[in-house]
C-alpha cells in the first residue's frame, strides 16, 4: 500500500494490513472490526469518515493498539492539521494555549504561596546543565510543590512556562506549531551539558523521546527518562527511605502517553505505589484500554463540554472500584481530573504519585492542588466560555 507523502505524513502505509485492531479496540469510537477497516480505508484515502472524526477524542490509544506500529493516530491528526491551516482555531481555545499570554496556567502564578513563586524563579534562572536535569513542563509549573522534597536532591530543575514541549499542539494536529517547537527546543538545548533529562510528565517524555525527533526533526544529545522510574530505582536501592506505610486503596489512572511509553511509566509507578503500601484498584485489565482524563478531548472541537464528559467517564469508572482515592502520575491528568471534580463531585480525592511519596518519606504534605484547580476553572469560565458560540478564529504563534 503506498501513497504520496508530504512533510507531516508519518503513517506507515506500506505496513498497514487493514486488520482494524487500532480502531475497533477504541472505547470511544464504538466500531466493530468491519467498521474499523472501512474507516481506515477512508482515512488512508483522505476521505471524510463516518465515525472517526466525529467521535475521536485524541486519546492516542489507537497507536498503542496497532500491532505494526503504523501510527493511525497521526493519520487522524493530519485531518485536523489540514483544517487548522485552512480555518485556524476557534477563538475560545486561545486562553488554553501554552503560548498565549495570559493563559490558564500563567494566571495561577500570582496566586501561589511565596515558597512556590520562589521555586519558579529559581527554575527559570537555572541553566539546564548537569548529570540529571528535570524538565518541569507546564503542568508541573502550576504545582511546583510536588517536587519540593528531599528525594529530589541532586536533580537540577530548569524551565519556565515559555519552554513548551509542544504536546498540546501535537494532540490538536497543529503540526506546523509542533515543527517550530522542535526547532526552538533543538536550538535551546544545543551544546548543553546534560546527561539525562528527567520528566515528571509522560507527555513531555514522549514528546522529547519519540514525537519531536522522529516526526519533526528535533535533535537532542541527552538521554531521556521518566522521573518515576528513576525514583523507583532509588527506593529499591535503599537510597530513598520509606519511613512509613500508607494504608489507602487507590484507583490508578493511566495517562495517554503513559500507555504509549509502557512499563517504564506504568510499571515503575505501580512498583512505587506497592512499596508505599498502597492497595491498587485497577480500572482496566489491559492498560491500553484505559480512559482519557478529559484533557485531550478538547482537541477535536476545542469545546469544554467535550472535556467534561470525557473526564466524568473516568471519574465514574474510578468510583466503581470502591477505592479510597484516585491517583495519577501525570501532572496534566492531576489537574484535569481535580478540576472536573468541582463540576462532578466524587468522594475520591485526586492525588499525585509524588504526593504519596512525600508522605511515605516523612515529608510534610500539603494538598494545594484542589483549591488551585477551582481558581483555574473559574478563569477558564471567565476567559473561554464567553466565546463558546463565537465563529471567530485565531492563530497560534510559537
**How many Å apart are CA 60 and CA 350, to the nearest integer?**
23
**Per-residue confidence in pLDDT tens, the chain, 398 aa:** 445 567 899 999 999 999 999 999 999 999 999 999 999 999 999 999 999 999 999 999 999 999 999 999 999 999 999 999 999 999 999 999 999 999 999 999 999 999 999 999 999 999 999 999 999 999 999 999 999 999 999 999 999 999 999 999 999 999 999 999 999 999 999 999 999 999 999 999 999 999 999 999 999 999 999 999 999 999 999 999 999 899 999 999 999 999 999 999 999 999 999 999 999 999 999 999 999 999 999 999 999 999 999 999 999 999 999 999 999 999 999 999 999 999 999 999 999 999 999 999 998 777 889 999 999 999 999 999 899 999 999 998 87
In this prediction, residue 366 carries a pLDDT of 77
In this prediction, residue 7 carries a pLDDT of 86
Cβ 13 vs Cβ 75: under 8 Å: no
Judge residue 6's burial from the number of C-beta atoms within 10 Å of its C-beta, 0-12 exposed, 13-18 middle, 19 or more buried: exposed
In this prediction, residue 397 carries a pLDDT of 82
Which SS3 state, helix, strand or coil, does residue 328 take?
Answer: strand
Q: How many CA atoms lie within 13 A of 368 on its CB side?
A: 17
Pairing, β 393-394 against β 89-90: antiparallel
The three cell numbers locating residue 209: 523521546
**How many Å apart are CA 152 and CA 147, to the nearest integer?**
7
DSSP character string of 159-194: --TT----HHHHHTT-HHHHHHHHHHHHHHHTT--E
Q: How many CA atoms lie within 13 A of 201 on its CB side?
A: 24
Cβ 397 vs Cβ 366: under 8 Å: no
In this prediction, residue 398 carries a pLDDT of 78
**How many Å apart are CA 169 and CA 8, to the nearest integer?**
14
Locate the DSSP E strands across the chain: 89-90, 130-135, 156-157, 194-199, 223-226, 249-253, 279-282, 325-328, 350-352, 393-394
pTM across the whole model: 0.96
In this prediction, residue 168 carries a pLDDT of 96
Provide the residue ranges of all domains of the chain, joining segments of one domain with +.
13-87, 95-394
In this prediction, residue 4 carries a pLDDT of 56
Amino acid at each position: 500500500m503506498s501513497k504520496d507523502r508530504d512533510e507531516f505524513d508519518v503513517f506507515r502505509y506500506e505496513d498497514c494490513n487493514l486488520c482494524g485492531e487500532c480502531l475497533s479496540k477504541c472505547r470511544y469510537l464504538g466500531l466493530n472490526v468491519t467498521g474499523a477497516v472501512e474507516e481506515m480505508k477512508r482515512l488512508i484515502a483522505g476521505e471524510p469518515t463516518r465515525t472517526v472524526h466525529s467521535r475521536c477524542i485524541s486519546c492516542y490509544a489507537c497507536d498503542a493498539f496497532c500491532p505494526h506500529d503504523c501510527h493511525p493516530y497521526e493519520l487522524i491528526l493530519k485531518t485536523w492539521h489540514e483544517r487548522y491551516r485552512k480555518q485556524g482555531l476557534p477563538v475560545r481555545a486561545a486562553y488554553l494555549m501554552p503560548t498565549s499570554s495570559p493563559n490558564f496556567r500563567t494566571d495561577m502564578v500570582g496566586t501561589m504561596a511565596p515558597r512556590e513563586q520562589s521555586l519558579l524563579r529559581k527554575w527559570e534562572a537555572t541553566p539546564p546543565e548537569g548529570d540529571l536535569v528535570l524538565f518541569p513542563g507546564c503542568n508541573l509549573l502550576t504545582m511546583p510543590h510536588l517536587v519540593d522534597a528531599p528525594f529530589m536532591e541532586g536533580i537540577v530543575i530548569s524551565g519556565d512556562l515559555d519552554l513548551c514541549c509542544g504536546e498540546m499542539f501535537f494532540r490538536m494536529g497543529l503540526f506546523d506549531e509542533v515543527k517550530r517547537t522542535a526547532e526552538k527546543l533543538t536550538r535551546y538545548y544545543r551544546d548543553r551539558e546534560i546527561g539525562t533529562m528527567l520528566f515528571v510528565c509522560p507527555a513531555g517524555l514522549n514528546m522529547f523521546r519519540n514525537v519531536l525527533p522522529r516526526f519533526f526533526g528535533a535533535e537532542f544529545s541527552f538521554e531521556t527518562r521518566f522521573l518515576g522510574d528513576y525514583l523507583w530505582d532509588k527506593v529499591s536501592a535503599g537510597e530513598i527511605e520509606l519511613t512509613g506505610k500508607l494504608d489507602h486503596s487507590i484507583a490508578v489512572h493511566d495517562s495517554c502517553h503513559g500507555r504509549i511509553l509502557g512499563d517504564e511509566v506504568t510499571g515503575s509507578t505501580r512498583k512505587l505505589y506497592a512499596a508505599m503500601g498502597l492497595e491498587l484498584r485497577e480500572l482496566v485489565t489491559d492498560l491500553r484500554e484505559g480512559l482519557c482524563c478529559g484533557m485531550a478531548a478538547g482537541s477535536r472541537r476545542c469545546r469544554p463540554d467535550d472535556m467534561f464528559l470525557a473526564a466524568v467517564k473516568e471519574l465514574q469508572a474510578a468510583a466503581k472500584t470502591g477505592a479510597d482515592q484516585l491517583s495519577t502520575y501525570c501532572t496534566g491528568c492531576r489537574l484535569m481530573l481535580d478540576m472536573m471534580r468541582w463540576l462532578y463531585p466524587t468522594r475520591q480525592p485526586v492525588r499525585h504519585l509524588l504526593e504519596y511519596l512525600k508522605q511515605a518519606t516523612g515529608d510534610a504534605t500539603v494538598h494545594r492542588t484542589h483549591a488551585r484547580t477551582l481558581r483555574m476553572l473559574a478563569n477558564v469560565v471567565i476567559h473561554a466560555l464567553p466565546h463558546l458560540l463565537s465563529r471567530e478564529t485565531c492563530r497560534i504563534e510559537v
